Structure 1
Amino acid sequence: MDDPAKVVVQIRSYIGEGRYEIAEVMAQELSTHLLHSKRDIHLDAVLVTALREWVRILHLRGQYSEAHSAARRLAKARRVRLKQIASSGDADAWSDEKQLEVEDLILHGRIESERGRLRSSISRFNKAIRIDANHLEARLSKLGSRWRIQGSLKGGKRDVLQLLDALDRSPGVERIGGVMGMRNGDGALVSLDRIQSILNGVVDPSLGLNKGINERGKYCLVKIDSEAAQIEAGEREADARLAAAIDSLQPSMDYHSYSSS
């Protein structure tokens, strides 16, 4: 087999190109090969990456049972990798791998949600939140899973309150890379559309939450809308000032024509 690390790069390239079928075949073959081969620390790291890509492509292709099985293999390989990093004392590598673990757990939670496994899904999201309490997407996905499987948010009062508290701790709405969203601490930005889609369920009295939570959700939505409007208004004002400044630099007289006359 070619250099396993290069194969992973090729798999990612195929995923980026939308060539999911060949990406899946390559990810499965590479993962299976590494699982049954003698490995050193380097190949253990490649195995984790290969399994991660395999889980991702299976999820993208809607093969949720297979994705669940691959995710369990990933969890086992990741534990081995984390022990190796802990032994090395590399704090940066540990932090990076733990953050990747959070993303793995969230994806596994979504896979379990697609399989209709509420308890298993919530368990994965809870593990992600224990690692990174500032991860808004983990909290949103947890509620989204309950809503998807139950058709309501009944039983999710505590999760809703924790989400609202997390949103309150956020510095507010911001635009990063053209995307309007919110985040906590150094956590990833979550788009407003994603946040609002879950909050729309929180404010819906037919989904099993009490009136007090409905009202708090409404307040949160109004606050988010207001902050987003302020950002857009500020950007429009800044654009107008820039346009005026550019106009002021344009000569009011055609000096070339004037000097020729």
Structure 2
Amino acid sequence: MFGTTNPEQAISQLEAYHREGRSERAEVMASALVDQLMAQKPRDDATQDFLVRGLRILAAVLNSRGKYKRARTTIGILHKQRNILGKSIGHDFVAAAADYHLAGFIHSNAGKKRAAVKAFSKCEKLQPGHLAAALDMAEQCGNKKTLAKLVPQAGAVISKNGAFVLEIDSRPPADAKRIGEILGGEIQSDIERQITAIQSGEQAANARLQAAVDSLIPTHDYHEYSSNN
């Protein structure tokens, strides 16, 4: 199917099909591409990279189509093949974390909560401060420990792209309202208070960024400095 097609073009086409919701076609094509690349031995680094990307798409598509058993098998192969690629060209921990984030959903959807917790935890270990994975683990598996530990590190609520989020050091953010709902108590009250303050203009949409900008503003202007010298 892909014999005369540039693998990069094939991957781009698969990603487009997946985005557009053409899941059945994406599954057929991704399966064919993965089978073709797996059969190539030995594989150079470029081919290994295409295989990893193909496996990532296939795992996501299978999950979206409710084919959880096969998705679990595919995500396991993906972890192994990405590790092989990493040993050759250097590990991409952000991409690996994203794989385990997806794995958490796949295992959870398959009813394998213990495996899901392990995957979400691995994601946060590879990319410390991954609030999105911690929130998903709390919602999908009922395990709130990591989320409760990370929330204090996030600082103020941020208004970003029409949503209110919490974020740690530019790691993947998490929906602040959902965090409040699942943790409840004082955390929920504080989040709701901050959201109200942002909406009314009493709190900056991004307090951390505003503080950084303010720190760059001189405390004395040039004319005042000149008149005193």
TM-score higher than 0.5:
yes
Deviations 1:186-216 (A, max 9, x none): 21121224323422xxxxxxxxxxxxxxxxx
The answer to whether the aligner puts 1:43 opposite 2:47 as a matched pair is yes
2:123 to 122, 125, 128: 128
Secondary structure, in 3 states, of the residue corresponding to 1:54? helix
What displacement does 1:24 show? 0.7
Matched pairs, number: 201
Choose the corresponding residue for 2:150, options 140, 159, 166: 166
Cα distance per residue 1:47-96 (max 9 Å; x no partner): 1001000011111111111110110110111011110123xxxxxxx4xx
In the alignment, structure 1 residue 113 sits paired with structure 2 residue 108: yes
Summarize the alignment of residues 25-174 of structure 1 with structure 2, pairs less than 5 Å apart. Answer: 25-38=28-41, 39-86=43-90, 94=91, 97-147=92-142, 156=143, 159-160=144-145, 162-174=146-158
Instruction: Report if the CA contact (8 A) 1:164-1:220 is conserved.
Output: no
Using the alignment, how far apart are the partners of 2:204 and 2:45 within structure 1? 55
Distance 1:194 1:104 in 2: 23
SS at match of 2:201: helix
SS at 2:156 equivalent: coil
Q: Does 1:220 align with 2:187?
A: yes
TM-score (norm 2): 0.82
Q: CA deviation at 1:172?
A: 1.4
CA offset digits 1:85-116 (Å, max 9, x no partner)? 23xxxxxxx4xx21111111011111111111
What root-mean-square deviation, in Å, do the aligned CA atoms of Structure 1 and Structure 2 show? Answer: 2.0
Percentage identity across aligned positions? 28
Q: List 4+ stretches of structure 1 deviating above 4 A.
A: 235-238
8 A contact 1:173–1:180 mirrored in 2: yes
- Specify the SS of the correspondent of 1:227: helix
Q: Secondary structure at the match of 2:155?
A: coil
TM-score, normalization by structure 1? 0.72
* CA-CA distance at 1:37 after TM superposition: 1.0
What one-letter code is carried by the residue in structure 1 that aligns with 2:23? Y
Report what 1:196 is aligned to: 180
Gaps of 5+ in 2: 206-229
1-structure distance, mates of 2:204, 2:194:
15
Q: Which has the larger radius of gyration?
A: 1
